[in-house]
């Protein structure tokens, strides 16, 4: 059953990605992209990576896509102001994207990187195991990353702060 759901979600994500590229309305493109993100999160759940699925939904579908929607609504895009692209450029884009897809699948198949839907170990991807590995084996890189993020936040505040004269 999980194999069938994996392939159904894969087909749905590909179809919604085609809608993203082919839609004339930017709002419809963003909504189709949000649906694509939910399909990918469903595939993460099937692959037993629940934490990655939740983070994917919160960060991408929840924050970034909503930000895209707000920006598109604020831009007030009209057909009169947008340049019209010829169908020749669209067809060139479709052909080059298809060729890129064929090359990428061939490269992954030759390297043995094509994912299999079934997983032998049921504990892979659980948040408990991720936290255990993160705070035992990778505690020093985790703390260094947190210090870098703190320095970046302080730097952003200092750059954005106005100097009163």
pTM of the model: 0.56
Question: Over the stretch 100-120, which tens digit does the pLDDT of each residue have?
Answer: 888 888 777 766 655 555 555
With tokens 């948040």, the residue in question is 127
**pLDDT number for residue 94:** 83
Please tell me whether residue 129 adopts helix, strand or coil conformation: helix
Of the chain, the percentage scoring pLDDT greater than 70 comes to 81
8 A C-beta contact, residue 125 and residue 52: yes
Band (19; pLDDT cuts 50, 70, 90): very high
Inter-residue contact 35 to 18 (CB < 8 Å)? no
Nearest in space to 31 (alpha carbons), one of 86, 56, 68: 68
Whether residue 56 contacts residue 47, with contact meaning beta carbons closer than 8 Å, is answered with: no
For residue 125, the Cα-to-chain-centroid distance in whole angstroms is 18
């Amino acid at each position: 059953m999980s194999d069938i759901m994996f392939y159904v979600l894969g087909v749905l994500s590909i179809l919604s990605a085609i809608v993203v590229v082919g839609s004339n309305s930017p709002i419809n493109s963003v909504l189709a992209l949000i649906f694509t993100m939910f399909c990918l999160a469903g595939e993460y759940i099937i692959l037993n990576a629940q934490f990655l699925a939740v983070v994917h939904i919160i960060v991408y579908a929840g924050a970034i896509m909503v930000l895209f929607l707000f920006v598109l609504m604020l831009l007030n895009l009209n057909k009169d102001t947008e340049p019209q692209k010829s169908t020749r450029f669209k067809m060139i884009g479709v052909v080059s994207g298809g060729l890129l897809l064929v090359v990428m699948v061939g490269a992954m198949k030759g390297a043995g990187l094509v994912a299999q839907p079934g997983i032998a170990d049921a504990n892979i991807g659980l948040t408990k195991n991720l936290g255990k590995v993160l705070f035992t084996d990778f505690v020093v890189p985790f703390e260094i990353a947190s210090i870098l993020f703190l320095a970046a936040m302080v730097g952003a505040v200092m750059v954005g702060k106005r100097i009163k004269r």
